[in-house]
Structure 1
């Protein structure tokens, strides 16, 4: 339906800690009623890190709002400049982390919207 849309002010939205890593995020999927994707905004303070994981089914898009941010994909660790986007296929191990002195903000979108799709990767 053309008029079936939602909008929120991300700056004013409630942040909740991730069950696996404790990293604060805004669940845009829940807030906006998304049914075909799982978008979240993640705020990483210095020293924060998401779990090193892979997805079973979800392809994910990572976009850096503020950075440069840091990510680990497989065995490679890299800086990701502000405004950059990365696509990661389901089985590829990944981890967003902040080993800098600056705040990082990411938009991460997974599709299809599979609940509890992430799996920890053994180091």
Structure 2
């Protein structure tokens, strides 16, 4: 009787193991079927859908910009970025402010002219330009007149109007900041983050022009 009991327990154990194996096997089959179904759905999916998801994730991800000079340091930025004209290069030529800082709403570049450099007569198809003299003296030829601008000087030129900006000094560099854009000014879209602290100060700050 004892042997029969042991045999019965052994049979029960073997039956339990068989049942568990059956459950595992059925689960494996279901997982394989699910994977095959997912692959079939992926094949049927619009081929443009996955790239669109990747592009959206790329736009939302922090951008990585490399600053040249001073150790070639890189900074991951999201929503804002810092640099300086000195970090963007040495010697005469363009300073790619827009690409370095990730600016997309308008065009902006720094330009450094060597002493006595004669600029390029040019115009644009669509974008107006604003020139700001950061350092030195600029000679501006536009609309049949020539004018010199010192540090802090500004000139706005509409897109189709030919213009030439040159270095008026034979001894010093000319450093310009040039902003380009189209489609107009966005009026009154600024908001104070802390009105209790800043509203009265902002109202008394004043405005000219």
CA distance in 2, matches of 1:76, 1:94: 10
Give me the TM-score of the superposition, normalised by structure 1. 0.76
Unaligned runs of 5+ in 2: 1-59, 61-77, 183-209
Give the 3-state SS of the residue equivalent to 2:123 in structure 1: strand
CA distance in 2, matches of 1:45, 1:14: 14
Pairwise CA distance, 1:86: 1.3
Unaligned runs of 5+ in 1: 17-22, 113-123
Structure ID, larger Rg: 2
Q: Which runs of 4+ in 1 moved over 2 A?
A: none
- Are 2:142 and 1:73 aligned? yes
Structure with more of its chain in helix, by fraction? 2
On the 8 A contact 2:140/2:166 being kept in 1, the answer is yes
Pairwise CA distance, 1:66: 1.2
Give the 3-state SS of the residue equivalent to 2:99 in structure 1: helix
The CA RMSD measured in Å over matched residues stands at: 2.0
Give me the TM-score of the superposition, normalised by structure 2. 0.46
Question: 2:120 aligns to what?
Answer: 51
Structure with more of its chain in strand, by fraction? 1
Q: Deviation per CA, 1:50-91: give whole Å up to 9, x if none.
A: 310111100101000112221111321110121011111111
Pairwise CA distance, 1:100: 2.2
Candidates 80, 95, 100, aligned match of 2:164: 95
